A and B are shown apart, each in its own frame.
Chain A
Amino acid sequence: MSFLRRLIIAAGCVLCLSGAAAAQSELVTELAQRHVDITAQFTGEKVLIFGAVSHPGDVIIKVASPNETVAISRKAKYGPFWLTSGKFNVKDAPGLLYILSDRPLEELIDEAQRQRYGLSLKHSLSAATPVDVPADVSDWKGAFLDLKKRDGYYLEDGKAVDVVGSKLFSASMTLPAKLPLGDYKLTIYLVRGGKVVARQTRSLEVREVRIERWVSEVAYSHSWLFGIAFTLAAMVLGLVLGIALRKGGDD
């Protein structure tokens, strides 16, 4: 970690210099990598964000994956049984959403600012729309947020950003194993005196490079062809295995 830290500081110094060259720029940021490649062995990954600020301030980093649709189902009690009752979709919500900062958000900016910049989990869900919510589900947003937080897809962490010597900052985020794919948008905000004084965006591409992806695409886009071909393959495999094993047993 100390090596990593030295690396950050070294990189930060370079950024400082280049930042100085860029004159008025208050905030300079960089990602340690531009891609996350999901392979068959992918079990999550640590991504490092670092940068420099020209004057002291607080840093908020918002990471959002592309939007996706999720289905939420709920269990309810019917007589003695706990059954699935009521299923609804939530459209256009980020699959992953991290809001990282060096101090708790409430200490940094007020509610109005948070709403304006979408700087809280709740305020980032303005585009999210529920479809066919059962009448007796009063708080779909609460249920949605709880599930996302439980599975590590949504996170608000007021201690995730390290500010070093009030000039440099770094944050590392650990992405979970099952990641939504696509271009992740990272927005880094510099906050001073309760106001956002500078911001910068970066992007991180999460790509899947494994056979599972291809299989699932084929299974959806050519579902009938896939179904028939796979069923025939299963039949042949069963036949071959059965005959081969029986022969082997007779010897």
Chain B
Amino acid sequence: MEIFLPIAHMDVNLITIILFGGVVGLLSGLVGVGGGFLITPLLIFIGVPPIVAVATGAAQIVGTSAAGSYAHWRLGNIDFRMGIVLLLGSWTGGGIGVYVAKVLQQGGHFGNIVTFLYVVLLGIVGTSMLIESVGAVRGAGKPGKTKTSGGLGARLAAAGERLPWQMDFPVSRLRISATVPLLLGVSVGVLTSLMGVGGGFIMVPVMIYMLKMPTKVVVGTSLFQLLFTTAVVASMQAGVNHAVDPFLALTLILGSAFGTQWGSRLSVKLPGERLRLVLALVVVAVTIKMLVGILVRPEDIYSMSVVVG
């Protein structure tokens, strides 16, 4: 069944989009990652203009992270003080990113930048996941060597103590300069605008390994900031770049809501290491497909789209 997407200006198969949402939801339910970094490339592969894919990706994350944020709020897992400081940063970064996207789009470079950002980022994430999960699958049983987060993390923490605006975050049992979460927020906000990702894959490791926040507070707080970062970025993408496609976003949210439920039920039965290996393979496959897309000579050198408005 074909539907016409009013903003992307193209016909898509409804089932395909629901499946995309479902697969990404399934993965996030299974492994506990957001799926923003898979949705955007998948949409670009089927011909959605990159800026629409990125903006709609952000809107889709709003829908998929709402229920989880609510659950963590009920459980008291959100450090609101930390969350607000992060949000001040990510709203700033998101705002900058949306206008950078506008300038790039007008110059016709947005698609190139998005592709490169994805190839680099997914390449790093996919490769490190692959190495980690292959190791885990092989060494399951052996006492795994715990990650030593000394070195860099400790030095950064020491540097953090000398920064201005020291703040107490009682829920996270942490005293740190507000500049650290602000900067973290800014970088995640920029990524949300330019790539349509929530940024959990940066936020969570930084909070756990560098800030040493308690894990359950990390999950709740990062989900909280992710929800309100993507909400503001999605609104701005619609306001500034006219790039949020409502039909596409709603279909994706619907698909991923079901996918997440199946995923979280399946995850109880399936071994975690193998799941992470599967996800790593998916990420690497997407990276390779994107890379091939810019390495192989395109069939048509020119392409055309109607300018609306």
Q: Which residues of A pack against B, CB within 8 Å?
A: 40, 68-77, 80-87, 89, 95, 143-144, 146-148, 150-151, 177-178, 180, 210, 212-213, 215-216, 219-220, 223-224, 226-228, 230-232, 234-239, 241-243, 245-246, 249
Contact = CB atoms under 8 A, between A and B. Distances in A.
A19 to B, nearest CB: 39
B170 interface: no
A238 B235 CA distance: 16
B239 to A, nearest CB: 4
A226 B238 contact: yes
B6 A72 contact: no
Given A82-B294, A219-B7, A234-B234, A227 B306 contact: no
A40 B4 contact: yes
B126 to A, nearest CB: 19
Contacts of B294: 81-83
B112 A237 contact: no
Contacts of B65: 238
A232 B63 CA distance: 9
Nearest to B68: A242
B253 A87 contact: no
B6 A74 contact: no
B6 A213 contact: yes
A234 B253 contact: yes
Interface string B275-309: 00000000000000000001111101111111111
Nearest to A41: B2
B304 A71 contact: yes
Given A82-B295, A231-B234, A238-B67, A143 B302 contact: yes
Contact of A212 (B4, B62, B297, B306): B4
A86 B108 contact: yes
A166 B244 CA distance: 55
A85 B296 CA distance: 15
A226 B242 CA distance: 10
A224 B111 CA distance: 24
Nearest to B241: A223
Nearest to A235: B66
Given A227-B234, A242-B257, A70 B295 contact: no
Contacts of A219: 6-7, 238, 242, 244, 246
A220 B309 contact: yes
Given A213-B6, A215-B247, A245 B239 contact: no
B70 interface: yes
19 contacts: A69-B306, A73-B302, A75-B303, A95-B306, A143-B301, A144-B304, A147-B302, A151-B304, A178-B11, A215-B247, A231-B231, A234-B62, A234-B234, A235-B63, A235-B227, A237-B66, A238-B65, A239-B67, A242-B71
Interface of B: 3-7, 9, 11, 59-60, 62-68, 70-71, 107-109, 111-112, 227, 231, 234-240, 242, 244, 246-247, 249-250, 253-254, 257-258, 260-261, 265, 294-298, 300-309
Given A75-B303, A82-B297, 16 more contacts: A73-B108, A74-B301, A74-B302, A81-B295, A84-B109, A180-B306, A224-B239, A227-B234, A227-B238, A231-B238, A234-B234, A234-B253, A238-B65, A242-B70, A242-B260, A249-B265
A229 to B, nearest CB: 9
Task: Sort A-B residue pairs by CB-CB distance and give the 7 closest, nearest first.
Answer: A242-B67, A227-B238, A87-B108, A238-B63, A238-B66, A216-B6, A241-B257
Contacts of A227: 234-239, 244
B193 to A, nearest CB: 13
A31 B305 CA distance: 30
Contacts of B300: 147, 150
A38 to B, nearest CB: 9
A128 B303 CA distance: 18
**Interface hub of A40, A148, A150, A237 (most chain B Cβ within 10 A):** A237
Nearest to A38: B4
Given A80-B295, A84-B112, A237 B302 contact: no
Given A227-B239, A234-B59, A235-B227, A89 B67 contact: no
Given A71-B305, A231-B234, A84 B257 contact: no
Given A238-B65, A245-B258, A75 B307 contact: no
Contacts of A241: 63, 67, 253-254, 257
